[in-house]
Amino acid sequence: MVYKTHSVSLHRKRLMNFFFKKVFKYGNKRDKSEAHNGKRTHYYGLKTDKQSRISCPFHEDKTPSMQVYYKTQTAYCFSSNCKTNGKSMDVIDFIMHKENSTKAQAINKAKEIVGYQKPDSKERYQPELTREQFLGNMYQYFKNAVSNSKPAKDYLQQRNLDFKKTEIGYNAGQFHHGARKDENVIAQCLEYGLLIDKNILGRTGEKAYGVFGKWCICFALKNKENEVTGLYFRSTLNDKESKHFYLKNRQGLYPNYPDKNTKKLILTESIIDGASLLQIKEIADNYSVLACYGTNGLTEEHQQAIKDLPQLEEIIFFFDNDTAGKEAVKKYGAMLKAEYPKLKLTTAEPINKDINETLQGHDESIFIELLNNRTELIFFI
């Protein structure tokens, strides 16, 4: 069967039923037994209680406030704190909110979910999977791991990052162990760089592998189609020598390619700074955010993405408040001004060294104030 954006309505009832079972895990006895038999997979790791409720993934929710209606294949959050409150969602709507995507992107995600297998299923790792499909599956696995990892949650709390507001994963280094240990997963992890062959044997006499990005929080880099094409890892350990890593053959942008209708674009110096801004609703609603990969990290891919924004009016540099950050703003500002003389270029500076450090010590409203007080960069071309 071929799924197309304009033909979804023709198969809606059948497709929604199938997708719904892929997204939500039933909480009744019959379906628990099916889950034990491996007949059901659940992409987001969600499971209803006996009253068909779940803790809403769109806000802080200690008592389950989202009701799942299997008969109508919809979900509804009763909390007034939820951005979806007052709206009944089908599975496409749910995916749109979960992925922060357009309807067309959500339909494509639904296609991906149809083929998803849970991490302990060998079918999940197939040799014919593309890089995008494989890394997309792995990133979903890493995202699901955050809520069950105390080290990850402790680190994110320290950084004042909310994994329910922005996409963040965690790599505990266990994805190739136990039931998941098969030739396909090993081969693909080696191919894409998630495992490293160090030519050593473990205690059991079997081949042992180094895990890339172990004990790191994880962010996805995405292509124009909003597919995962790269991964960035940030260590949760106090190890100054190995603080952050990019998967080999780095491709893609964080958090994604800016929307074509973008008028104001914020460039941050790092991914974690970009994530810090994205969880602030007023900023996410009024600006596009694009993370550079360090002071020398405005890549050709970034520059092409900027070139493809026909309505762009302003670029705001929000780099680190240090010498390297200020020099990078001057360098890239002059380069962009030469290429786009009519484009407005401005700069905002964090109070502390960088955006995330400022977030740790201040209320979110400080960033609205800093952006409102941004200054224009003047260049004589």
CATH code of residue 239: 3.90.980.10
Claim to verify: residue 73 and residue 154 sit in the same structural domain:
no
Scored b (16 or more CB within 10 A) or e, 152-177 reads beebbeebbbebebbbbbbbbbebbe
Domain C-terminal end among 236, 252, 268: 252
Strand locations in the chain, DSSP E? 24-25, 46-47, 53-54, 66-69, 74-77, 169-171, 195-201, 207-211, 216-222, 228-235, 244-246, 264-268, 288-291, 314-318, 344-347, 375-376
Structurally, the chain folds into a number of domains equal to 3
Claim to verify: residue 210 and residue 296 sit in the same structural domain:
no
Alpha carbons 141 and 169: distance in angstroms, whole number: 8
Domain hosting residue 297, numbered range: 258-380
Claim to verify: residue 236 and residue 274 sit in the same structural domain:
no
Domain C-terminal end among 225, 252, 279: 252
Q: What is the pLDDT of residues 353-369, one digit of tens each?
A: 999 999 999 999 999 99
CATH of the domain at 111: 3.90.580.10
In the predicted structure, residue 1 carries a pLDDT above the cut 80: no
In this prediction, residue 257 carries a pLDDT of 97
Q: What is the mean pLDDT of residues 174-179?
A: 62
Claim to verify: residue 147 and residue 81 sit in the same structural domain:
no
Beta bridge partners of 209: 197
Record the pTM: 0.70
C-alpha dist (Å) from residue 211 to 198, 306, 345? 10, 34, 41
Does the residue 36 lie in any domain?
Answer: no
Does the residue 166 lie in any domain?
Answer: yes
Confirm if 12 and 83 have CB atoms less than 8 A apart: no
C-alpha dist (Å) from residue 176 to 50, 184, 322? 33, 10, 41
Q: What is the pLDDT of residues 289-305, one digit of tens each?
A: 999 999 999 999 999 99
Residue 227 corresponds to which tokens in the numbers above? 């597919």
